[in-house]
Structure 1
Amino acid sequence: MTEASNSAVDRRALRTGRRADGTPARVTRRRAETRERLLNAALTVFAERGFGRVGIEEICEAAGYTRGAFYSNFDSIDQLFFVLYERQAELVMAQVHDALAGATPDEGLPALLDRVIDALLIDRTWVLVRTDFLLYAARNPDTATALIQHREAIRETLQPVVAGVVDLDTMPPALRDPEALTAAVLALHDAAAGRLLLEPDLATLRPWLRDMLTALLSPRR
């Protein structure tokens, strides 16, 4: 195998956590730290200047690395963004699972929603970056396709959680399908994120999101 091929395999292992044969890949502590610093630096400069207005050099400069360090971890800025996207999705799902872990069987929907919404750390910086990337993807069909696939993966992860706290038979006919109901929950989350851009007040946003989710998920009589 050539040196270039070895490099490509190394990058794949770092991105996916697995080698080409599917076995777990070993990532050194130093390399993991480099990757994390690049991700955090990219998030900062994306938020400050806007996605699409930032080049690899600017990310490397903010992180204190060379272009070589970037290409040892990511193939492109788009690919770096999707790693950020997956990291944020995993954080949100962890918050949801942690919030529901302490729930008791007799807790009703309002108490469960309180648990989840109080646990969510809604990050305006991430919302800014994600919104920029959404507009960028709208103008780039290949990127749009990849973004749709990532959003679908999030919906599939969240779907069992939603179905587990809601009696689907009590929902309106259009929302009795777990996929449709989960999509509606995510649409409300997106609406809350959009509101946060113009009104960066979590004290107001959390009750609004709680009211909207309660209206969506409450049983219909």
Structure 2
Amino acid sequence: MTRRRVRTRARLLDAAFTVFAAKGFGRVSIEEVCEAAGFSRGAFYSNFATLDELFFALYRERAELIAEQVADALALDGPGLDVPAAVARVTEVLLLDVDWLLVKTDFLVHAARRPAVAQALLDHRARLRGAIADRLTRAAGRTALPAVLGGADGAAHAVVAAYDGVTTQLLLERDVDAARAWLGHLLTALLTDGSTTPHES
């Protein structure tokens, strides 16, 4: 991909994000994205076949950012895992952007009625859970997880479910600080038995 095409693609993605956030994913046309980016339809079709494909490019960017944020925050404790400290790091850096949540929620509804699109979205969400589960698995010998979660995979599902719940509330309340605080409380409660002392095997 040439530098010019990279810049064109980036401008289309930025413009699409702005238009999707303002109007809703299902209410935006390719022409509107092109107009916002300052390009022709030809520029769009040289980079994306459909608006779904463009959205998945947006989703990949943010899913990868979130996965990196979580993995980096969980990687600082060595072989063990100080859960309260790691949760504090995760909630401090985690992407909580209302515009992105609006776009993602619109697309979730769109995908729910289209099985092939839904599966692609599920695959992207699985990547985030995998990053969390991998770190929890590597810490399992030194850090106890509540048995009710069923191991690292179950814990990863719980973490993502907590994130989904808090971000849904954030859409309504628009209070990012409160969302971060609630997410911290939920994750600490989910991943510990009430103790802040790492478990020694």
TM-score (norm 1): 0.80
Aligned match for 2:64, one of 86, 90, 95: 90
Match of 1:77 in 2: 51
Q: 1 or 2 for the larger relative contact order (CA 8 Å, sep ≥6)?
A: 2
Aligned match for 1:119, one of 76, 82, 93: 93
Ranges in structure 1 where 5+ consecutive residues have no aligned partner? 1-26
Is 1:47 the counterpart of 2:59 in the alignment? Answer: no
Match of 2:162 in 1: 188
Count of equivalent residues: 195
Match of 1:11 in 2: none
Aligned match for 1:108, one of 67, 76, 82: 82
Q: Which amino acid aligns with 1:60?
A: C
Match of 2:131 in 1: 157
Match of 1:30 in 2: 4
User: 1 CA distance for matches of 2:130 and 2:74?
Assistant: 18
Is 1:216 the counterpart of 2:190 in the alignment? Answer: yes
Seen in structure 2, the aligned counterparts of structure 1 residues 100 and 152 have a Cα distance that, compared at 3 Å, is: closer
**Residue deviations 1:125-158 (CA, integer Å, cap 9, x gap):** 1100000001111122221122122222332233
Q: CA deviation at 1:69?
A: 0.7
Aligned match for 1:203, one of 177, 183, 191: 177
Contact 2:91 2:180 in 1 (8 A): yes
**Residue deviations 1:137-192 (CA, integer Å, cap 9, x gap):** 11222211221222223322332123345569843444233222111110001111
Q: Which has the larger radius of gyration?
A: 1
User: 2 CA distance for matches of 1:103 and 1:170?
Assistant: 14
Aligned alpha-carbon RMSD (Å): 2.3
TM-score (norm 2): 0.87
Identity %: 49
Q: Which amino acid aligns with 2:88?
A: D
Contact 1:99 1:115 in 2 (8 A): yes
